[in-house]
Amino acid sequence: MKFTCQKTELVQALQIVSKAAASKPQMPILSGIYLKAEQNQLELQATDYEIGIICHIEAEVEEAGTIVLSSRYFQEVTRSLPGETVNFNYDTTAQITRITSASANFQLMNMPANEFPTIKQLTGTLSFTIKDNVLKDLIKKTAFACSTDEARPVFTGCLLEVGESAVTMVATNTHRLAFKKENLDNLSGSIKIIIPSKILSELQRIMVSEIPEEVQIICTYNQISFAFDNLYLTSRLIEGQFPDYHRVIPTDFKTRVTLDTAAFLAAVDRVSLIARAGEYNVIRLEFGAGQVHIFSNNPEIGQAEENVPAVIDGPDVNIAFNAKYVTDVLKTITSEQFYFSLNQTLNPAAIREMDNELFIYIVTPVRTAH
């Protein structure tokens, strides 16, 4: 195998693909990157059996072939190369890959390519396309609300519901819930699946095209794949029953508060500096008299408070939240103002964007001694 490619393209491809390489593999081969050079194209693959990523880049292929190199060393070597192009030459006798670029010359040991579990393209029970900017927004507005507790796998992923001309994504860690819906044309069939947040976060990170492009999504009962541009990602789905989120979303609120998104986020961020040292990162919010009074107290550190102007429609409310659960959602909101909808001190509250009925965030308050 012998080929030449651009260093910048190779580094970029490795950054993406290596996310699927296993860091503590059951089998050594899963810590490798699979390379296949043919027809002026280089294909890179990595998988840990949970997720798999394939990336294609252009290459001048002199001799076609396949090799597997250690993900860690391959990345480190490639990043450090001094030239703009990289030359690969696989010595079949010594089973060594020679990598040269400008004045640099490396030799890396190979892993057996025939042992690598190459990723097969999915053929699924349901297939649809969605613009990458729409998919990115679905993920951005929900995945942050997933749980990180692996003991309850169902909550570590996002529910994807497809059907009735709409795609819905929902995430919850039982203390908060994020719901985002998008109306789509040309949907046929319906499905409910739970996608691990790891693959969704990876997708969000690599969908960077300035011009919206189509993402082809294929679902089976236990796998999902995403194909766009020169990338193909596949992931196992999470088994289990996602809770009925409809029951969590209150149907009405007695108090609706309109706030400036940037001003309120900045104030909560500042006041929560004192709260962060505490176990539950608690801030108290007092809505009344045309403002919200934000307060936090830690006996070992001190206290902080700040007032932010607000338009309050309904009875005054005093309520407490985990500050992170408030700031996380505010960072995803694109409207200059947002609605904070409330009932009583211990009832779940809702946060919505202005002029966007397709998104809602529910957060459970914290019980405090005061």
Task: Give the single-character DSSP code of 8.
Answer: H
Residues 214-251: pLDDT tens digits? 999 999 889 999 999 999 999 999 999 999 999 999 99
Residues 271-313: pLDDT tens digits? 999 988 777 799 999 999 999 999 999 888 999 999 999 999 9
Q: Report d(CA 134, CA 259) in Å as an integer.
A: 26
| Structural element, H or E, at residue 7 | helix 7-17
Beta bridge partners of 87: 4, 100
Burial 128-151 (b: 16+ CB within 10 A, else e): bebbbeebbbbbbbbbbbbbeeee
Q: What is the CATH number of domain 126-246?
A: 3.10.150.10
Q: Report d(CA 302, CA 211) in Å as an integer.
A: 49
Beta bridge partners of 81: none
Model's pTM, two decimal places?
0.93
289: left (phi over 0), alpha (psi -120 to 50) or beta: left
Q: Which tokens go with 217? A: 């999504």
Q: What is the CATH number of domain 249-363?
A: 3.10.150.10
CA dihedral 240, 124, 50, 36 (to 10 degrees): 180
Which regions in the chain score pLDDT beneath 70?
369-370
Q: Domain 2-115, CATH 3.40.50.20 — does that match?
A: no
Q: Report d(CA 215, CA 234) in Å as an integer.
A: 13
- pLDDT number for residue 370: 55
Domain locations along the chain: 2-115, 126-246, 249-363
DSSP E strand boundaries for 125-250: 126-131, 157-163, 166-172, 176-183, 191-196, 214-219, 223-228, 231-236
Residue found under tokens 């236990």: 222
Q: Do domains 126-246 and 249-363 have the same CATH topology?
A: yes
- pLDDT number for residue 276: 81
How many residues appear in the chain? 370
Burial of residue 277 (CB within 10 Å: 0-12, 13-18, 19+) is exposed
Which residues fall within 8 angstroms of residue 174, CB to CB, at 6 or more apart?
147, 155
